[in-house]
Structure 1
Amino acid sequence: MRRIQVTETTENKDLVQEEKNVHAENEVEVGQETELTIEEQYEAKLAELQAKLDDEENRHLRLRADFDNIRRRSQLDREAAEKYRAQSLLSDLLPVIDNFERALQVEATSEETASIVKGIEMVYRSLIEATEKEGLQIIKAEGEQFDPNVHQAVMQEQDSEKETGVVLRELQKGYMLKDRVLRPTMVSVNE
């Protein structure tokens, strides 16, 4: 009986040794996997941080571009506000100018009336000079080709001597402030 036990013990030793070898090999493989995993984790973390950095750089560039656009837009708004600062006042003065022009069309029948017309004319000229300094300009209409950007057609007439689409009469003066139309000219256009 003893002999059998020795054999079993030898077999057991071989089995134990074999298990140790397999376990050691597994540990080496697991160790290598752990090392690769750490390297992979490092590279993944590095890639993640690089992506975040790229996103932040893009965000920074977009914010800077937005800031530049806002600054440029506000500069243009300030320039436009300065350029057209008198627009509201001049728009309010247009009916006054119209009334002065109507008053100047009255014929002076007496010396008193002539003196009043002369005073009205002086005030009218001063008003026109002041508005011209601010950039108010009369829109030319009569004899010009009809332009819907600056003319408002309220009538059509027929004149065979003139081309089609030509302004025949100016019914109410139109005005521009620099490059903006304050009031279009009311006109009668040739058919």
Structure 2
Amino acid sequence: MAEERHEQELVDEENDSAAEETTENDAAVEDTSEMDRLKQEKDEIQNRLLRLQADYDNFRRRTVKDREADRKYRSQDLVTELVPVLDNFDRALKIEVSDDSSKGFVDGIKMVYQQLKAALEKEGVEEIPAEGEQFDPNFHQAVMQVEDENYESNVVIEELQKGYKLKDRVIRPSMVKVNQ
């Protein structure tokens, strides 16, 4: 019986050590799965951080670009309001006068008109060239088409209303008569 007890104790010890190994293996598996989960969580957080950083960089670039556009075109509203004034000056200066007092008045109007044009040019306003130019729908608005043998096809024959642009943005296209 002592021998059986001894054998039973050995079997129990083996079972205990096997159970301990299983517990250790389970703990190792749990540690590995916990590490995998933590690694995956870290990767997700890192990806979110990178996306957030990219979003911030895009926002910053867009803000800088918007500010530059605002500075570049800050006078667009004023120019849009003044273009009809330039048209009225052009019409007024086309009138022929004969007496000396009227000529002095017209000379004063010419000086004001030249000052206004110079101030607008300083801000980047330019007249869009039209007569004799190739028709460009980005700068010209065709209101009439005629057939004239003296001009090539698709060439602006006459400018009916001046067009203006502010730097590279069209404020108002030129109204033109185009050869077919």
Per the normalisation by structure 2, the TM-score is 0.92
**Match of residue 79 from structure 1:** 68
Gaps of 5+ in 2: none
> Displacement of 1:60 after TM fit?
1.3
CA distances 1:98-117 after superposition (whole Å, capped 9, x unpaired): 00000000001211211111
CA distance in 2, matches of 1:19, 1:156: 115
**Match of residue 188 from structure 1:** 177
The match for 1:91 among 62, 80, 90 is 80
CA distances 1:81-102 after superposition (whole Å, capped 9, x unpaired): 0111000000000000000000
**Match of residue 175 from structure 1:** 164
CA distance in 1, matches of 2:151, 2:7: 117
> Displacement of 1:30 after TM fit?
2.6
Q: Is 1:114 aligned to 2:87, yes or no?
A: no
- State the secondary structure of the residue aligned to 1:153: strand
Gaps of 5+ in 1: 1-9
Residue identity opposite 2:159 in structure 1: E
**Match of residue 58 from structure 1:** 47
Q: Is 1:133 aligned to 2:122, yes or no?
A: yes
Residue identity opposite 1:74 in structure 2: T
**Match of residue 149 from structure 1:** 138
CA distance in 1, matches of 2:130, 2:144: 14
- State the secondary structure of the residue aligned to 1:144: coil
CA distances 1:101-153 after superposition (whole Å, capped 9, x unpaired): 00000001211211111111010000000000000000001111111111111
Per the normalisation by structure 1, the TM-score is 0.87
Q: Figure out how many residues of one structure are paired with residues of the other and give that number.
A: 179
Paired-residue identity, %: 49
CA distances 1:18-51 after superposition (whole Å, capped 9, x unpaired): 7766655443333222111111111111111111
- State the secondary structure of the residue aligned to 2:126: strand
Q: Which has the higher contact order (CA 8 A, sep 6+)?
A: 2
CA distance in 2, matches of 1:132, 1:85: 14
